[in-house]
Amino acid sequence: MKRWIVFSVVIFAVAFFGNWSWKEFSPSQSGALADVTWEESGKPYAVKVKLVDQEGNPLVASLITVYTDDGYFDFTTNIKGEGSAMCSGTVVFGIQAQHRTVFSKSLARYTGSPPLANGLDFTIVAKRPDVLAPAGGYDHLKYEKQTGEALKSLDEHLVPREVPELTAPVISEPASPEETAEPNSSEESDTPPEDADPPATES
């Protein structure tokens, strides 16, 4: 019985340590507000963040705050949903978007992960873009996207009308007076008809 208890405790400890190690050293993290992945960029101490929704649409003008063991650094995302800053310190242990925590490594100071030495590129896929974007900003983005899709759909369903070719009217030249003059029917013709009898001669 004691062996089973010891075995169960060992299995639990190994599972707990494995889960903890995965969370602390894995280059990804999933939370209620966002899914976050990162990789080294090769640019020392540069932290770049790309913030998008689950459909890949960029979240513009969102305030990003990067926390390191040497302080915090703010910047806002551009029209592509991207932003960056040069940071000091050795590790990144937290990132906020619009003052909401989307990434957290509470033991980063001790594990050294993720390190700043080679630079880091973070991709944040927002599950709650209405929370991680400026007030009203995401609703405006959705409106613009829906409007654009509606206009595109309308263009696809419109059948172009055939426009008849326009030809210049043909203007005939005016006829000459000789062509338009009609013979005078009241005047007798000087030439007698062929079947008329010859005039009688006096004897």
Q: Which domains does the chain show, CATH number per domain?
A: 28-152 (2.60.40)
Give the residue among 104, 118, 97 at the shortest CA–CA distance from 39: 118
Percent of the chain at pLDDT > 70 equals 54
Encode pLDDT of 116-148 as tens digits: 999 999 999 999 998 898 876 666 566 566 565
> In terms of C-beta density within 10 A (0-12 exposed, 13-18 middle, 19 or more buried), how is residue 120 classed?
buried
Give the residue among 57, 45, 48, 160 at the shortest CA–CA distance from 37: 48
Kindly give the pairing relationship between strand 46-53 and strand 120-126. Answer: parallel
Q: Does residue 153 sit in helix, strand or coil?
A: helix
Task: Report the range of poorest mean pLDDT among 24-28, 40-44, 77-81, 144-148.
Answer: 144-148
Encode pLDDT of 155-185 as tens digits: 666 656 666 666 666 666 665 556 555 555 5
If residue 180 lies in a helix (H) or strand (E), which one and from where to where?
helix 177-180
What confidence score (pLDDT) does residue 169 get? 63
Which position has the higher pLDDT, 143 or 33?
A: 33
Confidence of residue 85 (pLDDT cuts 50, 70, 90): very high
The answer to whether the CB of 13 falls within 8 A of the CB of 42 is no
Task: Give every CB contact of residue 21 below 8 A, 6+ residues apart in sequence.
Answer: none
| pTM (2 d.p.) | 0.61
Q: How many helices (H) and strands (E) does the chain have?
A: 5, 9
Q: Which residues pair with 71 in a beta bridge?
A: 68
Q: Is the pLDDT of residue 25 over 70?
A: no
Rounded to the nearest integer, the mean pLDDT of the chain is: 78
Cα–Cα distance list, 108 to 6, 38, 71, 93 (Å): 31, 14, 14, 5
Handedness of CA 124, 130, 131, 137 (dihedral sign): positive
